[in-house]
Chain A
Amino acid sequence: MASPSALFAVVFLGLVLGLNGALSIPMVAAKRGYSPKLGMSAGFAAGFAGTWLSALLIWQIASDGAGVIGSVVGGWSALAALRRLIPPREPQQNTLPEGSALHRNVQARHLRGGLTRVLFIASVVVALVSLATLVWTIVNKTVGYTATQYAIEPEDLTINGEPTGRGIDALSKNELALVLADGVRVARLRVFVLEEVVNANQDEFADLSPKPIKDVLRGQHYPAGLAELPFNKLDANQVASVLEANLSEAELKTMVMDEIVQPQLVKGWSLWESLTHKEDIEKTMHEDFPKARLEWHSWLNWRFVTSALDPRSPDATGLRPALIGSLMIIVFTILVAFPIGVGAAIYLEEYASDNAFNRLIQTNINNLAGVPSIIYGMLGLAIFVRSLESLTSGNAFGTSTANGRTIASAAFTLALLILPLIIINAQEAIRAVPSSLRQASYGLGATQWQTIWNHVLPYSLPGILTGTILAISRAIGETAPLILVGAATYLTQDPKGLFSNFTALPMIIYRWTTYPQAEFRNAAAAAIVVLLVLLLSLNSIAIVLRNRFSRRLS
């Protein structure tokens, strides 16, 4: 008969009207000499049943929508009818109630009060449950079982094209090196030598690469015959022998695991599924991925936080560039917004006379605080990314990133966004400074600025800092302006400075949320945890700062 949504609507409306009956009928019942409790039950029943019955009735002749509307009308009529139909048990009085009538009246009003109170509590509970569900949704995705499978089974590792037929543990050090030479690109092996043996920085790669082995591997072991050969001319077996000579067996084994065997994620389960549906998971494992291993996996781990982005696979990706991007944006945002914001607050509170222009500034700030963040993004796009491109791209200063979609643009945009919040908070903090403090300072002959700098600002600093940090937490979580300003989808390197292209934590979360591979949701959830931890730690810094400063002042 009915579509599920219409059914739901009728149940919902029935409950609402039932509640309405339970609230309104007891008063009528009490007035006419009945027990208010009875009235409450009757009211609820009439409202709910009326809604149901009329919906059913109308559905026989008309469509879903009409049924829903009819149910409201029916429920309402049922209540109205009940209100009228209750026969008076006692004659109605026009005077104030007395005796048992008074008792019933008070009882009815308290019933109503109690019921409403439950509703009020319920709304708080719903709010808290929402928060709990939000947290649960995230946690549910951050830990759970994952199935991993090897790209190449350890038995299938090859030496000179011949499978070893043994497990990785059965291989000698020399064999491990040969496996590496066979299974890994030579360029990659050279990177390993530089990273693991020479401990070179990425910046030094270009210098080291063409130098002869004896310079690159100074102080390390290498076959004597290779001494004069340029490093980048080494072939796979030669690089493997260098690795063998300098690294331990365990290190080589890790390398073989990471580069050739490559445990790969094939499926992930949520925490809830992992806890309650273990059998199903094992069955799936058995049927679909017989070669895979089931592991308990936390998506949030140190590797995730510290390694680079990898859009190819959700288990290999990290978020370091995004984290660094977010932090850099925040630092520059503070550098821009804090002085201007506090300056504006001081101007408005300490200097500005009450004239039309200053009132305009004040009203304007209040209005700016309500402008949607995406509008600031458009402002940033048109001004910082496009019009001031030569400045924000760093071209004017000789660095050569070619477009305006940089940390600088993002920071300026977010600075404008949080400026009103900083100003309003700082104004409140400054307003709280007792004017006796100022008068005392003036009385000693201090100038206005000296008064502000030495007395007003120190006194209001805790408040200003708290307000600023709250504004910053808003900025960290903002995504919409960054979409407009143009955060990149993928960066291979961390942003290096003001004029680097960037991506940011919320941006990464947004991207990962829209990826269809379910496992990217897990990565997104883990990134959300990082973002929330960042926000919470900022807030605790705010509290610590506030406490420290207020102790010093008191």
Chain B
Amino acid sequence: MQFTRWMKVLGLALVLTLVIPMATAFAQDGGEVEPLVLPEVDPLSVTGDIAIAGSSTVEPITVAMAARFNDDGFSGNITVAETGTGAGFERFCGEGSTDINNASRPVKDSELENCAAIGRENVLEFRVGTDAITIVVNKENDFVTELKRSDLIKIFTGEVKAWNEVNPEWPAEAIQLYTPGTDSGTFTFFGEAVLGTKGIYKEEEARTDALLAAEPTVSENDNTLVEGVLGSPYAIGYFGFAYYLANQDNLTAIAVANDVSYDEAENIVVVPEEEWTATESPIEYIVPDEETAEAGTYMLSRPLFIYSDASILAEKPQVAAYINYYLTNADEVVTEVGYFPVSTDVLNASKQAWLDAVGVEAAQ
């Protein structure tokens, strides 16, 4: 994997907010790394309830995992609420009413402070999978198959209102925007990755502001977004890859080219198309799929997490057992649901975090 000038720029943008988890995500599979084996869970002997909330992107994994845990004999109740990452952390750290939070972005410092204030001082992060935020249009839309990042900025900030303003050959129809709720990790991440984290878009506030300026249809429910895009050839939206996969008969995933760089004053500079190949690693349109998401070449790939706290694991053995089960089966279920598994290294780090919190040794 080569890092060109442009990829470095992108890398920098991502690293600014997602330092450690992303860095490990992009690490290549060592090949020889042995997967850690956690102590075997016997779901039959686990009792008690588990409350989960958070990201709607991670929700399908958590729900499938819960159903599987139940199939295997767990007799307690797992409730999963789809609230968006932010509101989920509100419940997890503010109210303290959930045991696990699904997150499609890393926890923020302010959220950790809240957690500490209610006695959850040792918040644990488990990386469970990788997602590629997929920008989609209706299959009936026969003019858009690829977009430049600079065009995405124009479209999603409302700078352009009709398709022909992006490309004069495209129809003069209004662009209908569908975007996940502002509480969702998808929204936050999209803002960071597409608008960038420099210059005028340095602050999250500014990014949120810009993304809402176009008055898009906003829904915490990704299904509503799918439904909306399915309804018109002039609609465009974005959500987790799994939702695209479930509807790939009717949706087209857009290939994205990262043609944005910055000058010294942190102003956005658009690289003209004829210069794309001039650099050592050419800019090209990249479609989200397993390969590009795992390698990180697709600019909108991002990590998926579940969060819990050491004190919860100690207090509620069922939560410890569930997370153990989650990590043990993560690869299989994550693939089944339509996301991409993480490398053995990263999963081992998550497993090690579990082992440290519970205070036992790995099985092998």
| Interface residues of A, Cβ cutoff 8 Å to B | 185, 187-188, 190-191, 194, 202-203, 205-206, 208-210, 231-232, 308, 310-312, 400-403, 486, 488-493, 496, 500-501, 514-517
Beta-carbon contacts under 8 Å, B62-111 to A: 63-64, 66-67, 69-82, 91, 95-99
B203 in contact (CB, < 8 A): no
**Cβ contact within 8 Å between A205 and B80:** no
A5 to B222 CA separation, bound complex (whole angstroms): 30
A311 to B61 CA separation, bound complex (whole angstroms): 11
Contacts of B67 in A (CB 8 A): 310-312, 492
Kindly provide the distance from the CB of B225 to the nearest chain A CB, expressed in whole angstroms: 9
Kindly provide the distance from the CB of B89 to the nearest chain A CB, expressed in whole angstroms: 15
A531 to B223 CA separation, bound complex (whole angstroms): 23
Kindly provide the distance from the CB of B311 to the nearest chain A CB, expressed in whole angstroms: 14
Partner of B91, one of A400, A403, A515: A403
Partner of B77, one of A203, A492, A515: A492
Contacts of A515 in B (CB 8 A): 223
Partner of B230, one of A188, A205, A516: A516
Kindly provide the distance from the CB of A212 to the nearest chain B CB, expressed in whole angstroms: 14
A176 to B75 CA separation, bound complex (whole angstroms): 28
Kindly provide the distance from the CB of A387 to the nearest chain B CB, expressed in whole angstroms: 13
A359 to B117 CA separation, bound complex (whole angstroms): 50
**Cβ contact within 8 Å between B76 and A188:** no
**Cβ contact within 8 Å between B51 and A232:** no
Contacts of B42 in A (CB 8 A): 187, 209-210, 232
B232 in contact (CB, < 8 A): no
Q: Contacts A194-B44, A312-B63, A403-B51 given; indicate if A516 touches B73 (C-beta within 8 A).
A: no
Kindly provide the distance from the CB of A40 to the nearest chain B CB, expressed in whole angstroms: 44
Kindly provide the distance from the CB of B30 to the nearest chain A CB, expressed in whole angstroms: 28
**Cβ contact within 8 Å between A194 and B73:** yes
Nearest opposing residue in chain B for A309, CB measure: B67
Contacts of B60 in A (CB 8 A): 311
B224 in contact (CB, < 8 A): yes
Contacts of A488 in B (CB 8 A): 79-81
**Cβ contact within 8 Å between A187 and B63:** no
Contacts of B98 in A (CB 8 A): 402-403
Contacts of B223 in A (CB 8 A): 514-516
A488 to B224 CA separation, bound complex (whole angstroms): 18
A-B CB proximity, top 10 nearest: A187-B72, A403-B97, A493-B77, A209-B44, A516-B226, A209-B45, A202-B75, A191-B73, A232-B42, A490-B80
| Interface residues of B, Cβ cutoff 8 Å to A | 42-47, 49, 51, 59-60, 63-64, 66-67, 69-82, 91, 95-99, 221, 223-224, 226-227, 230, 243, 246-247
A500 to B76 CA separation, bound complex (whole angstroms): 12
Kindly provide the distance from the CB of B325 to the nearest chain A CB, expressed in whole angstroms: 9
Please classify the interface of chain A as helix (H, G, I), strand (E, B), loop, or mixed, using the class held by over half of its residues. Answer: loop
> What are some 23 contacts across the A-B interface (CB < 8 A)?
A187-B44, A187-B73, A190-B73, A191-B71, A194-B44, A205-B44, A205-B73, A209-B73, A232-B42, A311-B63, A312-B64, A401-B51, A403-B97, A489-B59, A489-B81, A490-B63, A492-B67, A492-B69, A492-B74, A493-B76, A493-B77, A493-B78, A516-B247
Kindly provide the distance from the CB of B255 to the nearest chain A CB, expressed in whole angstroms: 22
Q: Contacts A403-B97, A516-B230 given; indicate if A206 touches B45 (C-beta within 8 A).
A: yes
A496 to B227 CA separation, bound complex (whole angstroms): 35
Contacts of B47 in A (CB 8 A): 206
Contacts of A194 in B (CB 8 A): 44, 73
Contacts of A500 in B (CB 8 A): 77
Kindly provide the distance from the CB of B77 to the nearest chain A CB, expressed in whole angstroms: 4
Supply 13 further A-B pairs (C-beta < 8 A) apart from A402-B98, A486-B81, A489-B82. A191-B72, A194-B44, A203-B75, A231-B44, A232-B42, A312-B67, A403-B95, A489-B59, A489-B81, A492-B74, A493-B78, A515-B223, A516-B246
Q: Contacts A402-B96, A514-B221, A516-B223 given; indicate if A492 touches B66 (C-beta within 8 A).
A: yes
Contacts of B91 in A (CB 8 A): 403
Kindly provide the distance from the CB of A52 to the nearest chain B CB, expressed in whole angstroms: 29
Contacts of B66 in A (CB 8 A): 490, 492
**Cβ contact within 8 Å between A206 and B79:** no
Nearest opposing residue in chain A for B59, CB measure: A489
Kindly provide the distance from the CB of A422 to the nearest chain B CB, expressed in whole angstroms: 31
Nearest opposing residue in chain A for B80, CB measure: A490
A401 to B224 CA separation, bound complex (whole angstroms): 30
Nearest opposing residue in chain A for B44, CB measure: A209
**Cβ contact within 8 Å between A501 and B247:** no
**Cβ contact within 8 Å between B49 and A401:** yes
Which of A489, A500, A515 has the largest count of B CB atoms less than 10 A from its CB? A489
Partner of B45, one of A202, A205, A489: A205
Contacts of B69 in A (CB 8 A): 492
Nearest opposing residue in chain A for B76, CB measure: A493
Which of B51, B79, B246 has the largest count of A CB atoms less than 10 A from its CB? B79
Contacts of A501 in B (CB 8 A): 51, 77, 79
Nearest opposing residue in chain B for A517, CB measure: B246
**Cβ contact within 8 Å between A191 and B44:** yes
Q: Contacts A232-B44, A488-B79, A492-B78 given; indicate if A188 touches B71 (C-beta within 8 A).
A: yes
Kindly provide the distance from the CB of A406 to the nearest chain B CB, expressed in whole angstroms: 11
Nearest opposing residue in chain A for B250, CB measure: A516
Contacts of A205 in B (CB 8 A): 44-45, 73, 75
**Cβ contact within 8 Å between A516 and B227:** yes
Kindly provide the distance from the CB of B15 to the nearest chain A CB, expressed in whole angstroms: 34
Contacts of B63 in A (CB 8 A): 311-312, 490
A491 to B52 CA separation, bound complex (whole angstroms): 10
Contacts of B79 in A (CB 8 A): 488, 490-492, 501
**Cβ contact within 8 Å between A514 and B97:** no
Nearest opposing residue in chain A for B56, CB measure: A489
A553 to B178 CA separation, bound complex (whole angstroms): 62
A210 to B95 CA separation, bound complex (whole angstroms): 36
Kindly provide the distance from the CB of B205 to the nearest chain A CB, expressed in whole angstroms: 27
A491 to B81 CA separation, bound complex (whole angstroms): 9
**Cβ contact within 8 Å between A208 and B81:** no
**Cβ contact within 8 Å between A491 and B77:** yes
Contacts of B247 in A (CB 8 A): 516-517
A500 to B49 CA separation, bound complex (whole angstroms): 10
Contacts of B80 in A (CB 8 A): 488-490
Kindly provide the distance from the CB of A70 to the nearest chain B CB, expressed in whole angstroms: 26
A493 to B80 CA separation, bound complex (whole angstroms): 11
Contacts of A400 in B (CB 8 A): 49
Q: Contacts A185-B72, A310-B67 given; indicate if A514 touches B224 (C-beta within 8 A).
A: yes
